């Protein structure tokens, strides 16, 4: 039984890899139908991504940083049985608070300025994420409905507050933050540069790595993580075992909100000239976190690599401008890849059943025997 359980565990990475390969294959087919002459050249530029030069590699790290955090946000909630589709709202609320502190709190000295901005963004994101958590815990309102509503409320509220507090009318966006609120480069701009053109990478990427490690330790090695996952597996059973399931739900959503808010702060305090534009559009980084979490199977380490992959493909897509493809083709290919990434869990189920059938057939000497379900084997494997 232990052997079969280990086989099931090995299907995680395989299912994600298959999802990516299927997505890339679908993208190649789209390119061939659109422009067969230049299809393979454009497809090669997508695959090369950030490997073109050091500057592109640095930009991969820059683009990966916010979606790793939003992916963590979705993944942490997913571990507790919740679908945090509200990462977009939590992201933009945290981003606004970080920019507000970066613009108005100029009395803060040196590094304390950007540290306070990051902490403020996390607190704002946590409070915003706690709203659907409270509604779920105390009124049993489905978190998807609550998150959708808070997304739009956040978008309109942030637009209103920007105009009232930190508006730059000439560019229809937020004012630039003070230099003391900009995240340090730590020499990364000198490393990841090409022909004197530095990339936008900064210490935000290392903060994202620390967040991944911290969430892995909390979820896998602590009592708090065990209780949160217990609430996700079976809320009623967790309550029967003495776990405060209401507190677990609220804590999970607040943590998810803090991570998304931190992602918003890391994007807009990067010193790349980005600002929140006053438009009635939800933050795309929050929704990119969903396929990143699915591709990473809600595992913090998997989410880290999934975020790097999506950023790599994004940077590679920029090179398609050298070919005769409409700009919308890049978005279509990215969407197809994300769609197949969302099928990673389904592919995991198929692979698990196939490997189980093969393994149990070899052990019993009867390959045609119907194996037990993966869920039953996972439950029984530890006691063998």
Task: Give the model confidence (pLDDT) of 115-151 as tens digits.
Answer: 999 999 999 999 999 999 999 999 989 999 999 999 9
- Asked whether residue 7 falls in the same domain as residue 150, the answer is no
Q: Count structural domains, the chain.
A: 2
Most confident of 212-216, 347-351, 354-358: 212-216
**46 within some domain:** no
What DSSP state is assigned to residue 277?
B
**177 within some domain:** yes
In terms of phi and psi (left: phi > 0; alpha: psi -120 to 50; beta: otherwise), the region of 196 is left
- Asked whether residue 199 falls in the same domain as residue 250, the answer is yes
* Short-list 350, 356, 355, CA closest to 373: 356
- Asked whether residue 268 falls in the same domain as residue 171, the answer is yes
**352 within some domain:** yes
Helices (H), the chain: 2-34, 39-48, 54-79, 87-104, 110-139, 143-165, 188-191, 204-221, 223-233, 235-240, 245-268, 284-295, 300-318, 327-341, 344-364, 374-380
Pair 263, 67: CB distance under 8 Å: yes
- Asked whether residue 132 falls in the same domain as residue 238, the answer is yes
Residue 371 pLDDT exceeds 70: no
C-alpha dihedral, 156 to 183 to 270 to 44, nearest 10°:
-140
- Asked whether residue 259 falls in the same domain as residue 189, the answer is yes
- Asked whether residue 198 falls in the same domain as residue 345, the answer is no
- Asked whether residue 253 falls in the same domain as residue 128, the answer is yes
Q: What angle do CA 160, 95, 285 make, to 5 degrees?
A: 105
**43 within some domain:** no
Of 365 and 24, the structure prediction assigns the larger pLDDT to: 24
**376 within some domain:** yes
- Asked whether residue 160 falls in the same domain as residue 21, the answer is no
**209 within some domain:** yes
Residue 367 pLDDT exceeds 70: no
- Asked whether residue 319 falls in the same domain as residue 335, the answer is no
**Residue 297, pLDDT score:** 83
Predicted confidence (pLDDT) per residue in 310-345, tens digit: 898 888 877 777 777 766 676 777 677 777 766 666
Q: Which of 323, 345, 369 is the last residue of a domain?
A: 323
* Short-list 106, 115, 108, CA closest to 166: 106
Query: Mean pLDDT, to the nearest integer, of 17-24?
Result: 81
Q: Band of the pLDDT at 108, cuts 50, 70, 90?
A: very high
- Asked whether residue 15 falls in the same domain as residue 137, the answer is no
Q: What is the CATH number of the domain that holds 96?
A: 1.10.3470
- Asked whether residue 137 falls in the same domain as residue 169, the answer is yes
- H/E stretch holding 167: strand 167-168
**Residue 34, pLDDT score:** 82
Q: Which of 323, 342, 361 is the last residue of a domain?
A: 323
**Residue 377, pLDDT score:** 42
pTM of the model: 0.86
Averaged confidence pLDDT in the chain: 85
**44 within some domain:** no
Residue 366 pLDDT exceeds 90: no
Tell me the residue range of the domain where 304 lies. 51-323
**45 within some domain:** no
């Amino acid at each position: 039984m232990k052997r079969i359980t280990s086989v099931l565990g090995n299907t995680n990475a395989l299912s994600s890899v298959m999802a990516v390969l299927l997505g890339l294959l679908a993208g190649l087919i789209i390119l061939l139908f659109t422009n067969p002459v230049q299809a393979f050249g454009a497809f090669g530029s997508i695959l090369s991504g950030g490997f073109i030069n050091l500057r592109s590699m640095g930009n991969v790290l820059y683009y990966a940083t916010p979606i790793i955090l939003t992916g963590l946000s979705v993944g942490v909630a997913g571990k507790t049985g919740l679908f945090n589709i509200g990462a977009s709202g939590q992201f933009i609320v945290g981003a606004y608070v970080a920019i507000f502190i970066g613009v108005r709190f100029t009395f803060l000295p040196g590094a304390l300025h950007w540290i306070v901005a990051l902490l403020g963004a996390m607190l704002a994101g946590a409070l915003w994420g706690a709203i659907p958590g409270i509604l779920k815990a105390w009124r049993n309102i489905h978190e998807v409905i609550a998150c959708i509503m808070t997304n739009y409320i956040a978008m309109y509220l942030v637009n209103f507050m920007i105009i009232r507090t930190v508006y730059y009318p000439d560019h229809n966006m937020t004012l630039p933050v003070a230099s003391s609120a900009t995240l340090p480069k730590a020499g990364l701009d000198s490393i990841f540069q090409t022909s004197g053109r530095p990339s936008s990478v900064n210490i935000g990427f290392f903060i994202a790595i620390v967040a991944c490690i911290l969430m892995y330790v909390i979820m896998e090695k602590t009592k708090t993580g065990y209780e949160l996952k217990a609430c996700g597996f079976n809320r009623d059973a967790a309550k029967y075992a003495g776990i405060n399931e209401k507190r677990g739900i609220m804590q999970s959503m607040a943590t998810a909100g803090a991570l998304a808010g931190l992602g918003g702060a890391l994007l807009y305090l990067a010193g790349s000239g980005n600002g929140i534009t006053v438009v009635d559009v939800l933050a795309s980084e929050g929704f990119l976190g969903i396929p990143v979490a699915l591709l990473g199977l809600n595992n913090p380490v998997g989410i880290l690599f999934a975020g790097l992959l999506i950023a790599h493909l994004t940077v590679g897509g920029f090179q398609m401008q050298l070919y005769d493809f409409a700009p919308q083709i890049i978005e279509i290919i990215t969407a197809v890849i994300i769609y197949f990434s969302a099928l990673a869990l389904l592919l995991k189920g198929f692979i698990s059943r196939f490997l189980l059938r093969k393994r149990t057939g070899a052990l019993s000497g009867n390959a045609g025997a119907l194996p037990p379900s993966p869920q039953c084997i996972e439950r029984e494997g530890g006691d063998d």
